[in-house]
Structure 1
């Protein structure tokens, strides 16, 4: 098998990534967005003869003057035919051959749970960090089954929001997206929390052709009003979407607008061919309200295998 670096065309990367359910962090658009913000990205492609069998995208940062960090988050993306020992050998080769300075730490975080790793897949690598947990929703189910799976309290809030007067839009509206990003900046300043710069979203969308293929915004407002009371942003990558940010004012919270928005977004995603929704990390200790909201959807809790050096 041959590993090449930074040579695979965008089209081939996007097609393989979508076919094999790659994460947002392994999508071409994610790497392009990071590059647009001045971050170094290296992309490895593996071929068995002429057949593409694996992708691995590494985001690189400098920890100190002479030490760098290269991280393959929720990757690599494997063809299912590759057995565990082959994957382990390729991962060790990625660590050895990545075109960065020798003084580096190279980390890999598989996109699956510990019990789903293949025998021998992480052989020769040391686990240095436990995995984080997220909630995954299978959108191949019909809407009736998805509704039945909702926690009772979550469903009651949805029914309440459906019986109220609220205008809901779910589409790829760049203006609504920018309004939400502005409110996200307010939220971060008010609550003193951090994340990727909001400029990442614009760069991520610009990396799609067209940009509308990269996202959905769900927005709720009062009748005859153009001012949202709540909004949610979902980023698309292949057949999967990831919940990215949300916001609600006092009226939106009282109206359970996020329950309605997420429910309407699920329907729109299904119609557009999305098969899985990643609702993002859960932390019942530090973020109990958000975590309960995500868990209340009835989705599957996925705890990743962890980070390996």
Structure 2
């Protein structure tokens, strides 16, 4: 069942209302018509966060009975009482390029839910593109900036087809891809337990070796349990041995590169180019229309590597808060 999406406000003084999503079916129906869905707002992602001690609220914003936007909220409780909430890349609007007054109504309604202090602190990484209009909108709605940079990534439009996507690659990236293809690498994609355990072990070892805290293995296990048919391990094999691997998650006609590992042979064989390119093409074969490169900073080498795939880059607003 599809739902009518809101187009324009019918009355300047009509307040936006908020309700909980009825069930997963309704949530997934809404996700299916989003112009630009985000993995962090998908049902499976929210369910997996429960493994890290979060509760989940899924909100639908309406005006005159028509849906404007939806938002997945993660809630932290102490002794049963909500003390903090987190929204990552939401709310999501059901029409592309929603008008500023429509967006403001949604954020005002969100702000009202936290206006009396009964729900604790709300930390918000908005699903809004970075810009002065959007920043002004957030202030009008009653939010304050936290000084934490927003999410930046790029999306490959898989509907363009393999030839057009390949032609769009930066010249050096395309040349490295050719080198990888001549070097005997083989692409493997699996949802098997063996592949999953191999990838989780590499991810855990990488975090320990480099001394950083990335996405937890516990969360990845929970995510796989909730979306077993949409949790893919992609590997680049050289002489039947994996030299690089990544986890790709499918959701709402989209897929996102989520976690990666690159072994000592990966750089020489250009396995990074080979793996990312073939993962995107495999997701196109799985019916996806969009492939999100999983976030990056243009100030580091790996970020520039992703940028050279020449996807449509987007940058979201910095983080905000309210009480």
Q: Which whole-Å CA distance do the structure 2 matches of 1:180 and 1:100 have between them?
A: 45
Note if 1:12 corresponds to 2:26.
yes
Change over 3 Å in CA distance of 1:100–1:160 after alignment to 2: farther
Question: Which SS does the other structure have where 2:187 is aligned?
Answer: strand
Note if 1:187 corresponds to 2:202.
no
Change over 3 Å in CA distance of 1:67–1:145 after alignment to 2: same
> Which position in structure 2 is the counterpart of 1:33?
48
Between Structure 1 and Structure 2, how many residues are aligned?
301
Identify unmatched segments of 5+ residues in structure 2: 1-15
Question: Which SS does the other structure have where 1:43 is aligned?
Answer: strand
What does 1:44-63 correspond to in 2, within 5 Å? 44-48=59-63, 51-61=66-76
Question: Which SS does the other structure have where 1:107 is aligned?
Answer: strand
2:37 to 19, 22, 29: 22
> Which position in structure 1 is the counterpart of 2:181?
162
Q: What's the offset of the Cα at 1:29?
A: 0.7
Change over 3 Å in CA distance of 1:173–1:258 after alignment to 2: farther
Root mean square deviation, CA, Å: 2.9
> Which position in structure 2 is the counterpart of 1:148?
167
> Which position in structure 1 is the counterpart of 2:237?
221
Note if 1:239 corresponds to 2:253.
yes
Q: 1:277-304: CA deviations, max 9, x gaps? A: 221232244xx23112211211233211
Q: 1:187-243: CA deviations, max 9, x gaps? A: 0000001123112122112223xx11x2222212223x3x41211111122112111
1:91 to 107, 125, 137: 107
> Which position in structure 2 is the counterpart of 1:127?
145
Question: Which SS does the other structure have where 2:293 is aligned?
Answer: strand
TM-score, structure 1 normalization: 0.86
| Mapped contact 2:114–2:121 kept (Cα < 8 A) | no
Q: Which whole-Å CA distance do the structure 1 matches of 2:38 and 2:132 have between them?
A: 16
Q: What's the offset of the Cα at 1:116?
A: 9.6
TM-score, structure 2 normalization: 0.83
